[in-house]
Amino acid sequence: MDPITSLGVASSAIQIIDFGVRFLSQVKELSDSAKLDLDEFAPLRQEATQLRSLNGILIDAVRRRKELHESNPIEKEILSICAQSNDVARDLIEKLDHVSKSKKPGKADALGTVLRAMMGRKDIKKHHARLLKFRDSLVTTILINTQ
């Protein structure tokens, strides 16, 4: 076997071993844990929950202002972005709950939970990116409104 082929085979073997080690360590961590939840998704869940809470406060403030004054197009845009952001945050939290929460303690359910998390990671990252875009859009719109 030529050196390049050997290097390719060795690289593939190392990737498979690395994946297996990470997978098994997550299964062990979850099966030994009392909280039945993967730690890697906790910051995403917290960020989505916090953004939903802030959106609620902002929606209430804009609606109260709307009662006193006629709303302008920027305020309508803020309400629209908040609503869309809340939808994406809710979907993200639902996906996180589906892929990262174990139903009961034990190795079999931990194995399923880690598999769901690994399979759903790409979709979760996509939802998180959408949520960040809405957050940035909201910040920009608010800044424009204050000028």
* Full pLDDT tens readout for the chain, 147 residues: 777 887 787 788 888 888 777 777 766 665 555 454 566 778 888 999 999 998 898 888 888 877 777 767 888 888 889 999 999 999 988 888 877 665 665 566 666 777 777 777 788 889 889 998 988 988 888 888 776
Contact 146, 65 (CB under 8 A): no
What 3-state DSSP class applies to 119? helix
**Residue 129, pLDDT score:** 92
**Residue 90, pLDDT score:** 92
Residue 44 CB partners (closer than 8 Å, separation 6+): 92, 96, 124, 128
Q: What pTM value is reported for the model?
A: 0.66
Dihedral class, residue 56 (left if φ above 0, else alpha if ψ from -120 to 50, else beta): alpha
∠61-129-135 over CA atoms, to 5°? Answer: 15
- Which range of residues forms the domain containing residue 46? 3-146
Contact 96, 44 (CB under 8 A): yes
Task: In whole angstroms, give the CA distance from residue 88 to residue 85.
Answer: 5
What is the number of domains present in the chain? Answer: 1
Task: In whole angstroms, give the CA distance from residue 120 to residue 88.
Answer: 16
In 3D, which of 17, 16, 14, 42 has the Cα closest to residue 29? Answer: 42
- Which residue intervals of 33-106 are DSSP H helices? 42-68, 73-100
